[in-house]
Amino acid sequence: FRVGVMDRFGLSYEILHARNPRLVYASIRGFGDPRTGLSPYADWPAFDIIAQAMAGLMSITGADVDHPMKVGPGIGDIFPAVLSACGILAAVHHVTQTGEGQLVDVAMADSVLALTERIVYQHSITGVAPEPQGNTHPLLCPYGLLRTADGFVAVASPTDNHWRALAEAMGRPELGSDPRFATNEARVAHSSTVYAEVEAWSSTLTTDEAVRALTGLVPCGPVNSAADIAADEHTSARHMIVQVPHPSGVPIDIVGAPIKFSATPTEAFVRAPLLGEHAALFLEPAFDRTRP
């Protein structure tokens, strides 16, 4: 909700805090709650793409400055929720220590800026605003996607040891000691030549062949689709796809818990509730009509 909506509903932080001083009240808006810092955009509505654009993420994503691009997943929606959950846990801990609840405020734009923190310190140090790098890295090389005979393979070989291992796997050990490529700084300076040399090798192999050639030597992996992920042994071993019932009667797959605990099970999943399905469960205790 935008600023003022909860106040009009009689559900402001101040009203609920007065009823229950131990209450932890979380708020997520595009540009934050005025109580924690009044943004000039406080009244603006926002969605994921707005947060990605205004927090600078789109300015460094894409092929070049003329084609800014949003990140695929809706991280402008998802990451604020993750940070809000962290904030709620911290605030609950504060309640156990002091008995006092508080407001936990997260702005979508602030959250995405926290993800793109590199652009802040780079601009501060160099005075230059970072620009899109495509799938490469401005400070590491090689670090990106390589074309294969049937697709792509992701390779990260920024350390000198990894570079020498990659050169050996390519059957080009002399590249490991070539002064143009011997250090990461040198490879960044000659990045176009580095990628040309490596892709001349990778493009002769299928993605599976390239991964097999590099596994255990150089960090690498295929570019997986949803179907690839569903069939991947890693996914099943880590219980990262689970089935839940659906009101339609047909079970659906959802992503499992990425955080695993040695003592706390994470296998219990339920479907998302229907709209308003649990409203009474939460609202009735909070609004005791016997109270003034």
Residue pLDDT, tens place only, 236-245: 999 999 999 8
**Does position 288 have pLDDT exceeding 90, yes or no?**
no
Q: Do 68 and 75 form a contact (C-beta atoms < 8 A)?
A: no
Closest CA to 209 of 200, 199, 222, 191: 222
Closest CA to 24 of 85, 112, 107, 82: 85
Q: Do 134 and 56 form a contact (C-beta atoms < 8 A)?
A: no
Distance CA 177, CA 174 (A): 6
Closest CA to 32 of 114, 104, 86, 105: 105
pLDDT at 286: 58
* Bond preceding residue 285 cis, omega within 30 of 0: no
In the chain, where the domains are located: 5-126, 143-223, 229-284
Per-residue model confidence as pLDDT tens digits over 42-70: 999 999 999 999 999 999 999 999 999 99
pLDDT at 283: 78
Q: Residue holding tokens 């991964």?
A: 211
Per-residue model confidence as pLDDT tens digits over 102-145: 999 999 999 999 999 999 999 999 999 999 989 999 899 999 99
Catalytic (active site) residue 150:
no
Question: What is the CATH architecture assignment of 5-126?
Answer: 3-Layer(aba) Sandwich (3.40)
Q: Do 70 and 81 form a contact (C-beta atoms < 8 A)?
A: no
Q: What homologous superfamily does CATH list for 143-223?
A: formyl-coa transferase, domain 3 (3.30.1540.10)
Residues in contact with 23: Cβ distance below 8 Å, sequence separation at least 6, in sequence order: 16, 17, 101
**Does position 248 have pLDDT exceeding 60, yes or no?**
yes
Q: Identify the active-site residue in 33, 43, 77, 150.
A: 77
